[in-house]
Chains A and B, each alone.
Chain A
Amino acid sequence: GEDVEQSLFLSVREGDSSVINCTYTDSSSTYLYWYKQEPGAGLQLLTYIFSNMDMKQDQRLTVLLNKKDKHLSLRIADTQTGDSAIYFCVQGGNKLTFGTGTQLKVEL
Chain B
Amino acid sequence: GAGVSQSPSNKVTEKGKDVELRCDPISGHTALYWYRQRLGQGLEFLIYFQGNSAPDKSGLPSDRFSAERTGESVSTLTIQRTQQEDSAVYLCASSRPPLAETQYFGPGTRLLVL
Contact B100 A100 (CB under 8 A): no
Say yes or no: B42 contacts A4, CB within 8 Å. Answer: yes
B105 at the interface (CB under 8 A from A): yes
Over the window 35-56 of chain A, the binary record of Cβ atoms lying under 8 Å from chain B Cβ atoms (1 yes, 0 no) is 1000001111100100000000
Q: What is the predominant secondary structure among interface residues of chain A facing chain B?
A: strand
A95 to B95, CA, bound (A): 12
Q: Which of A4, A94, A98 contacts B100 (CB 8 A)?
A: A94
B100 touches A43 (CB 8 A): no
- Given contacts A42-B105, A42-B106, are A93 and B100 in contact (CB under 8 A)? yes
Q: Which of B21-75 contact A (CB under 8 A)?
A: 31, 33, 35, 40-45, 48, 50, 55-56, 58-59
A94 near B48 with CB under 8 A, answer: yes
Number of A-B contacts (CB under 8 A): 56
A41-B52 Cα distance, complex, nearest whole Å? 28
| Contact status B45-A95, CB under 8 Å | yes
Count contacts on A: residues with CB < 8 A to the other chain. 22
Q: In the bound complex, how far is the Cα of B42 from the Cα of A98, in angstroms?
A: 6
Cβ of B77 under 8 Å from chain A: no
Taking the complex as formed, is A11 at the interface, i.e. its CB lies under 8 A from any CB of chain B?
A: no
Q: Which residues of A contact B40 (CB under 8 A)?
A: 100
B66 to chain A, nearest CB (A): 18
| B91 interfacial by beta-carbon distance below 8 Å | yes
Least distance between B55 CB and chain A CB atoms (Å) = 8
Q: Within B93-114, which residues are at the interface with A (CB < 8 Å)?
A: 93, 100-108
